[in-house]
Every structure is written in structure tokens, then in C-alpha cells.
Amino acid sequence: MSLRRVFALFSVAALMALTSVACRPDFPNCETDAHCADSEAGQAESRLYCVNGLCQQCRTSEDCGDASMECRAGVCEEIPGYCVGTGDCPGNQVCRENRCGPECMSNDECGEGTICEGGSCVAEPECSEDGDCGEGQRCRRGVCEEAPEQACQIDTVYFTYDSSTLDDDARNVLQNNAACIQERGVSVQIAGHADERGTTEYNIALSERRARSVRSYLTSLGVSGSSVTTVAYGDSRLVRVCQEGGPESCHRANRRAEFDVR
């Protein structure tokens, strides 16, 4: 081969090398990992991987070289909640598969007498409903406690047609009412009522007699007369509208004496 031919080939190779160097992208732009690794800036910043045309610290989490780091958008960052042991976790959290998490995931992870609730082991409740507790107790927030005594009831008294006389049923109700009034130490107003049959004036008078009949019986049972007042409404405050020809079962609901506790 002539010297001229050798010189020509050498010149072409040199030109190609120079052209290659001259065309290399400027950092942080790149085409290959070599462009980043050969760059002084790339080495100084540990941006040795070409990702989407830019030099980055990593392509995958394995490039970070530390199990506690992960690759995010080309940057190695610490994994939130990473742990090696439970001592690395805050509060009552535990380390599972190198991640801090709840103290428990099920009751099996808690000790005797405790259950898993909201990710924490807590004392097992004594009860979940009133039926789990003994007689006279109720369940409140998982604990059995004494149930408060139920307040006694003061009930309505009913009358027969066109009458203010107390029958046996009415007397039984009033006996319970009297005991309740005395137990609670309250005052009551007795409101007499009548059904729709009869004139307005007659029904007012009848409802007044009914209220007074109830008051008289209560005082005979020991209720203080000063704690009992009466008022008469006639047929102006009907429980049910029956019309005069309505059934007896309808009218009976209106023939009553009600109690307003004061």
C-alpha cells in the first residue's frame, strides 16, 4: 500500500474520531450511558445513566445500591417507612418486609385478653351489647355498668260514655300514677277531655268533672292537693276525629284525662 493511501486512511479515521467527539451531546444531555459516565459533571454529580436523553442518578432502584433507597424520576431517594427492625419504626408500629406498619393486622397478632382494633392491640371489651352483662346492668363503650333506674310513667285515664266515674281499669292506672308522682316529686296538671257527641257547653262541663274525679282519687291516695291542678278542654282537642256517628272504639280514645308533668 502506498504511503499516500495510508496517509489518506489515517486522515479519514482521525476525522471521524474528531467528528464523533465534536458531536457528543453537552451534559446533562446524552445518548448513551457512556456520555454521562465520561463527563466530569456526570461523575461529580453521580449522574451516570442516560434516561430519556438526560443524565440521571439511576434508571432502576438497583442502581441506587442501597436497599433503603429507590429510584424516582431518575433520582435516588429514601423509601418512606423503610425499616430493618421494629426499633426503626415510630410509636407502636412494627417492621414488616422492611416497611413500618400497624401494630397488628388481625387478632392473632395480639396477646391474650387483647384484640386488634384500628391497627393497634387493645384490651378486649367486656361486652358488646346489654345482653352480655348481668341483670340490672347495661353495656357502655365495652364495659358493663349499672343501668339507671327507668323513670316511672304517668299514664292517661279513659272513661265510659257520658260518665266521669272511674272504673277498675282507671283506678289501677291512677294508683300507679299516684306512686309515680310521689316518687318523682312532681306537680301535674290534669286535662279533662270529651268525645264529639254533645254540645260544646255540655262537653266542657263533662271534661271538667272527669278531671276533678281524677284529682280527687289521687289526693285520696296521698298525693298533695297543692301539686295537682285541673283544666277542661271538652271536645276541642280530639285524638281522633270520629263524627257523632263514628264507632265506639273511635270515641273512646277521646274520653280521657291526660297528665301534664310540671
pLDDT at 19 > cutoff 50: no
Element (H, E) at 43: helix 40-44
pLDDT at 26 > cutoff 80: yes
Q: Look-up: residue for cell 446524552? A: 30
pLDDT at 185 > cutoff 50: yes
Percent of the chain with pLDDT over 90: 68
Section 63-81 average pLDDT: 92
Percent of the chain with pLDDT over 70: 92
pLDDT band of 138, cuts 50, 70, 90: confident
Dist CA 113 CA 121 (whole Å)? 10
pLDDT at 142: 84
Report field, pTM of the whole predicted structure over 0.75? no
Per the CB < 8 A criterion, the answer to whether 235 and 250 are in contact is no
Dist CA 259 CA 184 (whole Å)? 14
pLDDT at 13: 53
pLDDT at 22: 52
Dist CA 43 CA 71 (whole Å)? 18
pLDDT at 223: 96
All cell numbers assigned to 225: 292537693
Section 97-102 average pLDDT: 92
- Mapping DSSP to helix (H, G, I), strand (E, B) and coil, where does residue 189 land? strand
pLDDT at 9 > cutoff 80: no
- List pLDDT tens digits, range 225-247: 999 999 999 999 999 999 888 88
pLDDT at 208 > cutoff 90: yes
Which residue would you say has higher pLDDT here, 214 or 127? 214
- For the CA atoms of 241, 245, 250, 251, what is the dihedral angle to 10 degrees? 90
Spell out a b/e string for 229-256, using b for 16 or more CB atoms within 10 Å of the CB, else e: ebebbbbeebeeebeeeeeeebbbebbb
Per the CB < 8 A criterion, the answer to whether 232 and 188 are in contact is no
Per the CB < 8 A criterion, the answer to whether 139 and 133 are in contact is yes
Question: Which runs of E-coded beta strand occur in 200-250?
Answer: 228-232
Q: CA triplet 229, 230, 235: central angle to 5 degrees?
A: 160
pLDDT at 38: 92
pLDDT at 148 > cutoff 80: no
pLDDT band of 33, cuts 50, 70, 90: very high
